[in-house]
Amino acid sequence: MKKVYLVGFMGSGKSAIGRRLSTLLNIPFYDMDAEIAAQTGMTIPQIFETYGEESFREMETDFLRHFHDEYCIIATGGGVAMREENRSIMRQTGLVFYLNANFRDIWRRISTDINRPIVQRSSRIELETIFNKRMPLYLKSAHIKVETTDRTLKEITQYIA
Ligand code: S3P
C-alpha cells in the first residue's frame, strides 16, 4: 500500500482519525495544515490574511506534488478535493478515504473555531451551502466512503484499518 489520504469537510474527524490510525498501524501521520503552517512559519488564518485563499490553495497543491514520504497517512485540508489536480494526485499515489459526516454534527464541532478562516467568514447557511457543493467532489476524489455519523473514533479507525 502507498499513502492513505483522509478527505472530508472541516470537523469530519480527519486529523483525529489519522492520528489513531497512525498509532494502530504504526505508520507515520501528517496533518497537511500543520505541515503548511510549519513550512511557512505562519498559522492558517495568517496565511489567508497575508497571502489570500488562492495562495493557500497553491500551497496545498504544492504539498501534494512534492510530498515524498511513501508509506504514511495524510489528513488533508477540507478544501483539497476542490481541485482536479489534487484529486488526481491523491488517487494516483494512494488510497483515498472520504469521511462523511452530517452538517449538524460538523456545525456543532466547528462553529466557534477561530482557526478556520472559512468558518470565520461564513454564516451557518453559507457554510452549509459550501458543504453541499463540496460533497460530490469528496465523493469523486475518494476510493472509499466512510460513514462517521453515530460511530465512535475507535469504530471508524478500526473500520478503515
Ligand atoms: C479549509 C479547511 C481547513 C484548512 C483551511 C481551509 C477548507 O482544514 O485547510 O482552514 O477550505 O475547508 P481542516 O479541514 O483540517 O479544518
Query: pLDDT tens digits for 115-155?
Result: 999 999 999 999 999 999 999 999 999 999 999 999 999 99
Distances (CA, A) of 93 to 2, 29, 62, 147, 150: 7, 16, 14, 23, 31
Residue nearest atom 8 of ligand 1, based on CA coordinates: 77
The CATH code of the domain that includes 14 is: 3.40.50.300
pLDDT given for residue 17 in this prediction? 97
Domain total of the chain: 1
Distances (CA, A) of 42 to 7, 61, 121, 145, 147: 23, 17, 19, 32, 33
pLDDT given for residue 59 in this prediction? 97
Cell numbers 489519522: residue: 18
If you average pLDDT over every residue of the chain, what do you get? 95
pLDDT over threshold 90, residue 2: no
| Pocket test residue of 5, 118, 122, 135 for ligand 1, highest count of atoms within 8 A of CB | 118
ipTM of the complex: 0.98
pLDDT given for residue 68 in this prediction? 78
H-only helix segments in 67-113:
84-93, 103-110
Determine the structural domain holding residue 130 and report its residue range: 3-160
Across the range 8-30, mean pLDDT stands at 96
Query: pLDDT tens digits for 61-106?
Result: 999 999 877 899 999 999 999 999 999 999 999 999 999 999 999 9
pLDDT over threshold 80, residue 57: yes
Residue nearest atom 1 of ligand 1, based on CA coordinates: 78
| Pocket test residue of 19, 33, 130 for ligand 1, highest count of atoms within 8 A of CB | 33
pTM here is 0.96
Cβ(105)–Cβ(149) below 8 Å: yes
pLDDT over threshold 80, residue 1: no
pLDDT over threshold 80, residue 5: yes
95: enclosing H helix or E strand:
strand 94-100
The Cα–Cα gap between 7 and 9 comes to 7
Q: Is the CB of 13 under 6 A from ligand 1?
A: no
pLDDT given for residue 70 in this prediction? 82
